[in-house]
Amino acid sequence: MGPNLPLSAEDVELTLLPLERATQLPPRAFTDPGVLAWEMEHVFRRGWIGACHIDQIAGRGRFVMVELGGESVLIVADEDGLPRAFVNSCRHRGSRIVDAPEGTVRRLTCPYHAWSYGFDGSLKNAPFTGELVDFDPACNGLKPVPLAVVEGIVLLDMSGAAPSPAEHVGELRGHLAHYRLEELRRGARIAYDVEANWKLIAENYSECLHCPGVHPELNRLSHYLSGETIEGAGLWCGGSMTLAEGVETMATDGGHGRKPIEGVDLRSILYFLIFPNTLVSLHPDYVMLHTLWPKSPDRTEVVCEWFFEPEAVSSPDFDPTDAVEFWDQVNREDWEVCALTQRGMGSPSFTPGRYTTQEDDVHTFDVMVAERYLEALKP
């Protein structure tokens, strides 16, 4: 059965109204542990979630480990360099096979009793099991997790029953393809511990109404009212921003003059949210990827990574500092206002507000959440 959802259908339905009449999600959606427990089971574990970029597992034995609601998943490149995903638990006594966010291993060996597995998940060695009755090594490999790679983004399906990844990403795939994400290489990574609900971070990403006051440096590079909303089939939302005259990229001190990504619009920034936890920002000379990992109703781990053309990363003078420092500042400014919002929503006197006409992407994201809620509230 799983946890019940402690929300009322009447409150949630107000979010589904057209933007001009809609009310934002009820505060309990951001503060109640019961809501997060329900989301873990019915949102994060019953559909595709973004895990990482394919570059992080480029080569035999390269791995990424992600944690979600008590579950740990190991994503590793197999003997042919193809990505595989498994529950990160030894089939003997349950120990984690790996316990680092990422790295490289020569083989998958349990650190407890040395059971070992192939990169295809098959059990290779299990000491002192040869005389056991009805013990079949073929039935004791690592438990697989369905995986798909869409334009360089690695997606996981914890349920094994999600619709096709093509349906999930939909028409966004065409926008991503222009930037050749699968060919880009990572230049930097920062993990943040944010004192806010995962949905607040997603909502904040989906609007720039706050940019003049919270991000004055960002607003000088791209006016907060520039760009347009982009729509299409699939579980995503987003749009564009236009660089100000004389600005070539979003970075400190005007950037380091990197060669742009071939074939992209040099005047636009595209930003997209792939439901539920993947934020993709497409810049003329780099791509930025955020993945959101809920830890509690008021705490989220946010992994932010920067990707560049392979030629740029392999250059002896490659230096991503200008882009990393710029967005590290912007990120921390965002985390501060998200944390303030989280604390404010905890007030017993707070009631959900209305959307402004500059928050259409926020409303689109909230509608995706509300529709999931109503599947449980109005079955």
Whether residue 282 sits in one domain with residue 186: yes
Say how many C-beta atoms besides its own lie within 10 A of residue 243's C-beta: 21
Distances in Å between the Cα of 178 and the Cα atoms of 142, 184, 227, 278 are 36, 12, 18, 18
Q: Which of 157, 178, 203 is the last residue of a domain?
A: 157
Q: Which of 100, 122, 157 is the last residue of a domain?
A: 157
Instruction: Using alpha carbons, select from 48, 41, 293 the residue that is nearest to residue 146.
Output: 48
Distances in Å between the Cα of 107 and the Cα atoms of 97, 101, 116 are 10, 17, 7
**pLDDT tens digits, one per residue of 69-80:** 889 999 999 999
CATH number at residue 117: 2.102.10.10
Domain limits for position 143: 50-157
Whether residue 201 sits in one domain with residue 70: no
The DSSP result for 86-117, as a single string, is EESS-TTT---S--SSEEE-SSEE-TTT--EE
How many residues in total does the chain contain? 379
Tell me what pLDDT residue 1 has: 46
CA angle in degrees (0–180, nearest 5) for 168-250-151: 25
H or E element: which one contains 313? Answer: helix 310-314
Tell me what pLDDT residue 2 has: 58
Q: Does 117 fall in a domain? A: yes
Could you report the average pLDDT of every consecutive run of 10 residues in the chain (379 residues)? Answer: 84 98 98 97 95 96 94 96 97 97 96 97 96 96 97 96 95 96 97 98 96 94 92 96 93 82 94 98 97 98 97 92 96 98 96 96 98 92
Q: Which residues contact 196 (CB under 8 A, 6 or more apart)?
A: 298, 299, 300, 335, 338, 339, 341, 342
Measured CA to CA, the distance from residue 305 to residue 302 in angstroms comes to 10
* Domain tally, the chain: 2
Whether residue 66 sits in one domain with residue 191: no
Torsions phi, psi for 188 (to 5 deg)? -165, 155
Whether residue 180 sits in one domain with residue 81: no
DSSP bridge partners of 303: 191, 291
Instruction: Using alpha carbons, select from 295, 45, 279 the residue that is nearest to residue 193.
Output: 295
Whether residue 70 sits in one domain with residue 27: no
DSSP bridge partners of 75: 64, 85
